[in-house]
Chain A
Amino acid sequence: MKISEIQQLLNADIICGGDFLDRDVYSACGSDMMSDVLAYVKDQGVLLTGLVNPQVVRTAEMMDMRCIVFVRNKLPNEEMVKLAEDNAMVLMATSKRMYEACGKLYCAGLVGKATAKSGAGNE
């Protein structure tokens, strides 16, 4: 799914990374707990969260995620936007709640595809 489709489905406002909307993402994850996000390896994913602090962007960076959607009208601060810009990441904000936002993307074909422990090598 293109990042632009995510924006349309969620009626979201782009905060930064508007040049990267034609990029594809193949999986998504919705969570306010960053350690849970870090427990699952995904490729080129999108993170939906209602949490606002710089470690949200860091976590997405560590996971090689390309896009963060802030739900429930949450807005990132300047520091987070700067971090995201440095990493060519798209940030967007929607008024939808987590459940609805995830549901809309899932129904449109962006499934979770959690691959816990894949690539872990020791499990």
Chain B
Amino acid sequence: MNEVLKLHYDVDGENFTSAGDASVNVKKKLRQMGFSPDVIRRVSIAMYEGEINMVIHACGGEVDVFIYPEEIDIILADKGPGIADVELAMKEGYSTAPDNIRSLGFGAGMGLPNMKRYSDEMKIESKVGAGTKITMKVKVAGE
């Protein structure tokens, strides 16, 4: 794969209002590059949920996006508390988000399932007390 474009973002964990800024930026870049609306939406929603998760659970983190003609890779890395039981966290409706986050419209236990739903491949590497790294791939051909 060639013609890679690499984007890097720092996600501010203190500011819920700005959560999503990086995803909006990626969405604009992909639109300029001429990707299909379906690919653009899948990438931006998957990354947006990841960004929101970082702000809710991990005091922020870093996102790297690699854009290839054939696929888009999104790597979200944080130094948060980690996920104790990844299988449980993947269940729709399961959430450890506090009530104040729920009152903002998140914490329905749909974040990780949505990230899996909109990506073609998703890998979670997490260590309790050390952090979480999530790698998502969205295929452009959409097989």
- Chain A positions within 8 Å of B, measured between CB atoms, are 32-36, 38-39, 41, 49, 51, 53-56, 58-59, 61-64, 79, 117, 119-123
Contact = CB atoms under 8 A, between A and B. Distances in A.
Given A35-B107, A56-B105, 4 more contacts: A55-B52, A62-B41, A122-B116, A122-B119
* Most chain B beta-carbon contacts within 10 A, residue among A49, A53, A61, A120: A120
Classify chain B's interface size. Answer: 35 or more
A38 B143 contact: no
Interface stretch (B3-11, B42-50, B77-85, B127-135): B42-50
12 contacts: A34-B105, A35-B49, A35-B106, A39-B114, A54-B17, A55-B52, A58-B24, A59-B105, A62-B20, A62-B44, A119-B142, A122-B119
A72 to B, nearest CB: 15
Interface of B: 16-17, 19-20, 23-24, 27, 37-38, 41-42, 44-45, 48-49, 52, 104-111, 113-114, 116-121, 138-139, 142-143
A64 to B, nearest CB: 6
A63 B111 CA distance: 15
Nearest to B52: A55
Contact of B41 (A59, A79, A119): A119
A59 B17 CA distance: 12
Given A120-B117, A121-B139, A38 B105 contact: no
Given A35-B49, A39-B114, A121-B139, A63 B41 contact: yes
A35 B139 contact: no
B30 to A, nearest CB: 12
Contacts of B143: 121
Contacts of B19: 55, 58
A85 B35 CA distance: 24
Contacts of A117: 117
Contact of B49 (A33, A38, A63, A64): A38
